[in-house]
């Protein structure tokens, strides 16, 4: 079940790209990230209230700490998409945000069978293959730079969320998205970027935010069941991001990337069976 919930989270990230990238193209990466955090914070807060979720200050603060990493991850990720391509940026992000939280979860005692560990290796190897593609030197450098920065940020967010998952309740996603919003608002001001999507793109900003709220809730549920498996499962989002980038934004898709996608699918199957 942890793998299934993690995969649904990954699908949610891919679908959020469908809407978020439109805001990026019409405004800026920071505007898109800020709008996503705003609508996501509102949605997670409504979910916690409606479900009468028990509040725990410790897990909420871990969620807030996760929000710092999430804000950086989203911003660097969209900067990468703006200056490079999803077929390069997304897999770099995923490889780092899978490996580091997985190792952390296992080091903290989360059970992981040999089959599941092998599946994690296969999935990460597949993500490396997905990075294949012909790019100019400038776009290659930008993609690698922002991919690494985003990957480190997302990994720190995931590790903090693993700690938040130790306590029952749905308030950690609220803290995560609220802090992300509070960080991005002044960043947008300093950079002279819009805080809200321009007319014609507001529905896209709202949809991207709602989908990321769903991602946070599903991901927390996945980590509650098995943190190591959930972390790797979520990291497969480049499969969905690359496919959506190919279909809707004409991103290039090479044969090696198709092989990588197949490896990711196989690795996730091993994780699920393990």
Mean predicted lDDT score pLDDT of the chain: 85
Q: Do 233 and 9 form a contact (C-beta atoms < 8 A)?
A: yes
Q: Span 198-203, mean pLDDT?
A: 94
* CA 121/CA 127 separation, integer angstroms: 10
pLDDT at residue 130 in the model? 63
Distances (CA, A) of 173 to 73, 127, 176, 189, 261: 15, 26, 5, 25, 29
Residue 205: the pLDDT is 95
Q: What is the mean pLDDT of residues 64-88?
A: 84
Range with the poorest average pLDDT among 4-8, 25-29, 72-76, 81-85: 81-85
Q: Which residues have C-beta within 8 Å of that of residue 56, sequence separation ≥ 6?
A: 167, 168, 169, 171
**pLDDT 10s digits, 89-148:** 877 777 777 778 888 888 888 777 788 788 778 877 876 776 555 456 677 788 888 988
Query: Exposed, middle or buried by CB within 10 Å (0-12, 13-18, 19+), for 125?
Result: middle
Q: For 218-256, what is each residue's pLDDT tens digit?
A: 999 998 888 888 887 887 777 787 788 778 877 766 777
Other Cβ atoms within 10 Å of 138 Cβ, number: 10
Closest CA to 38 of 20, 59, 57, 12: 20
Write out the H or E segment, with its range, that includes residue 48: helix 29-50
């Amino acid at each position: 079940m942890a793998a299934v919930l993690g995969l649904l989270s990954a699908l949610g990230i891919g679908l959020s790209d469908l809407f978020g990238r439109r805001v990026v193209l019409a405004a800026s990466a920071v505007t898109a990230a800020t709008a996503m955090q705003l609508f996501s914070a509102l949605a997670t807060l409504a979910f916690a209230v409606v479900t009468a979720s028990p509040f725990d200050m410790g897990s909420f603060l871990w969620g807030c700490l996760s929000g710092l990493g999430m804000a950086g991850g989203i911003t660097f990720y969209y900067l990468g998409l703006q200056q490079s391509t999803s077929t390069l940026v997304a897999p770099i992000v995923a490889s780092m945000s899978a490996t580091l939280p997985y190792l952390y979860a296992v080091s903290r005692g989360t059970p992981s069978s040999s089959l599941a560990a092998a599946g994690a290796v296969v999935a990460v190897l597949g993500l490396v293959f997905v990075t294949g593609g012909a790019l100019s030197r400038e776009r290659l450098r930008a993609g690698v730079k922002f991919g690494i920065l985003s990957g480190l940020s997302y990994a720190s967010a995931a590790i903090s969320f693993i700690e938040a998952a130790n306590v029952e309740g749905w308030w950690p996603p609220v803290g995560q998205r609220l802090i992300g919003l509070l960080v991005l608002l002044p960043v947008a001001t300093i950079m002279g970027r819009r805080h809200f999507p321009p007319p014609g793109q507001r529905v896209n900003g709202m949809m991207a935010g709602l989908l990321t709220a769903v991602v946070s809730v599903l991901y927390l549920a996945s980590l509650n069941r098995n943190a190591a498996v959930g972390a790797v499962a979520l990291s497969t989002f480049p499969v969905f991001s690359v496919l959506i980038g190919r279909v809707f934004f004409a991103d290039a898709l090479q044969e090696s990337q198709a092989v990588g996608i197949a490896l990711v699918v196989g690795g996730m199957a091993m994780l699920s069976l393990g």
